[in-house]
Amino acid sequence: MSKHITITADNFDAEVIQSQIPVLVDFWASWCGPCKMIGPFIEQLAEEYEGRVKIGKANLDEEADLAARHGVVSIPTLIVY
């Protein structure tokens, strides 16, 4: 079962900015080989740190404006907020 949350422009403020705990956001895309390689590790982190760190994934293809606002120029990009 997936423990990460999907980050979108609509929920970014509520899930990331207003979070009471640190948030790791993985900017990724389905066509990105390195993104696929680290995917299982990201899921493992989400499970291991549940309740202490929030793990979110933002799909670059669906959230290009969000990625641009945060300076993402290559993927995978991991940012801790």
Q: Is 9 among the catalytic positions?
A: no
Catalytic residue, from 9, 29, 32, 53: name it: 32
Nearest to 30 by CA among 60, 74, 64, 72: 60
27 Cβ neighbours under 8 A, 6+ residues apart:
58, 60, 67, 70, 72, 75, 76, 77, 78, 79
Catalytic residue, from 16, 23, 24, 35: name it: 35
Q: Is 70 among the catalytic positions?
A: no
23's enclosing H/E stretch is: strand 23-28
Please identify every residue annotated as catalytic: 32, 35
